Structure 1
Amino acid sequence: MTAPRDPFFPAEQSIRASAAPIDVRELGLVDYQQAWDLQADLAAKRAKDKIGDTILVLEHPSTFTAGKRTQPEDMPDESYPVPVVTVDRGGRITWHGEGQLVVYPIIKLAEPVDVVDYVRRLEEALIQTVRAAGVTTAGRVDGRSGVWVPAETKAASPEASTRERKIAALGIRITRGVTMHGLSLNCDNTLSHYEHIVACGIDDADVTTLSLELGRDVTPGEMAGPVVHELKRALAGELVVADHTFATRPDPSKGLTRKVR
């Protein structure tokens, strides 16, 4: 998704309202609803300047989360034994579970709040992290959020050719200038649960993990430090957003309203 205008702040400038250090909390495995409640509490306190900026680093037990644009056809069968939580972030349905790194920045943004620039900075942090880990072709698909790996055509074995693959997802909410929700990076999680939903409303692409792409086990614990490091740099303007777009596809959420409650 190409930004429709230049960002409000120069690329080398911080978009945080504060220059104080960010409090990073590594929480381990946390129930989704419990983490959401914690985010809401921290965001309310951050809006009133009762606390500073905070980044939550964690994993969730297996859970589907349905964003504001989720459609009935995206949903799993009612008999499928994984809970679905309807959430207040953007986008459609996705899955969270063990082996997937989840990072929730609770950040007070400088005014005027620039949502597009914030999302692009999150993406840039993830792209740089994934590339440094070894997936050097990772980038953006214009029209779709998150971080993607390009399709591959294998002449020697056409049946093994791949489609574009999402390796990291984004979903945010900004209230009173404070961010909630955030990003997830597939590390060594199973992909089996994605087969029961239309992930992010996209049925013409696939989902992947760092472990699958690199041919070795890559854990959330291995990636937590690099992701937080690049995220801090991106928010501070030390990591400049670049054009890593390799394809253009339809926006799966454009013009949709929520039909799932």
Structure 2
Amino acid sequence: MLDILDVGTAPTYVPYLDGWALQRRIHADVVEHARPDTLLLLEHEAVYTAGKRTEAHERPVDGTPVIDVDRGGKITWHGPGQLVGYPIVRLAEPIDVVAHVRRLERLLIDALQQHGVDGYQVAGRSGVWVRRPLSEDKVAAIGVRVEKGVTMHGFAINCDNSLAGFRGIIPCGITDAGVTTVSEVIGADTSPTDLIGTVSAVFRAEFAREAVPA
């Protein structure tokens, strides 16, 4: 079973620290078996978040606040127009974090396919990628943490957000690829609200199958 919560999308943007606090509360409940696996879906106010591998020179120098977080990966941007998802789920033993990331990628690829985006995985790099005329660009980023067998953090799909926030950083520390949005890829405005139903259905179906006895 997977509980899916729409925490807030346009015109309601969730401050990053509020979303992070909610994650921690739900994570504690899932660890204690007090609630089922849960997926939070939301849009954040504009913010940079720096994962554990972020180096000093990778931080923006324009005075924009940066929040240090306990997920893996490097620095990225979140903000309006980006659908963020936090799957707080119990992983099977033995814990395989890479398998969890690959699973998230496959689910996002399935969801984006329904909106005309031909996404794919890239070996050695997390996220969902698309082929552009002059580059290979990331359309969805992934960064996770596992504590006491339960995941935190998750994914961010660029829907119709401005890409300006990425220009002052090296997104996820990758220098030889770019970022894009669903709207840019398909040539039609596609908001986080447009994707919530699809993403919810794909995740709900995946976890329903997982719950069926063999």
Q: Percent identity?
A: 48
SS of the residue corresponding to residue 189 of structure 2 reads: coil
State yes or no: 1:134 paired with 2:106. Answer: no
State yes or no: 1:27 paired with 2:7. Answer: yes
Q: For residues 181 and 132 of structure 2, what CA distance do their matches in structure 1 show? A: 14
SS of the residue corresponding to residue 25 of structure 1 reads: strand
Mapping for residues 47-126 of structure 1, pairs under 5 Å: 47-77=31-61, 79-80=62-63, 82-126=64-108
Q: Which residue of 2 aligns with 1:225?
A: 197
Q: State the one-letter code of the partner of 2:131.
A: P
Structure 1's unaligned 5+ residue stretches are 1-20, 153-161, 239-261
Q: For residues 94 and 32 of structure 2, what CA distance do their matches in structure 1 show? A: 17
Q: State the one-letter code of the partner of 1:139.
A: Y
Bigger helix share: 2
Q: Which residue of 2 aligns with 1:149?
A: 130
1:202-233 per-residue CA deviation (whole Å, 9 max, x = no partner) reads 11111000001111110000101111222233
| Structure number with higher relative contact order (C-alpha < 8 Å, ≥ 6 residues apart) | 1
The structure 1 segments of at least 4 consecutive aligned residues displaced by more than 4 Å after TM superposition are 235-238
Q: For residues 157 and 132 of structure 2, what CA distance do their matches in structure 1 show? A: 19
Give the TM-score of the pair, scaled to structure 2: 0.92
Aligned residue pair count = 206
Deviation of 1:117 after TM superposition, in Å, equals 1.7
- Do the aligned partners of 1:73 and 1:198 also contact (CA within 8 Å) in 2? no
Higher radius of gyration, 1 or 2: 1
Give the TM-score of the pair, scaled to structure 1: 0.76
Structure 2's unaligned 5+ residue stretches are none
- Do the aligned partners of 2:2 and 2:207 also contact (CA within 8 Å) in 1? no
Bigger strand share: 2
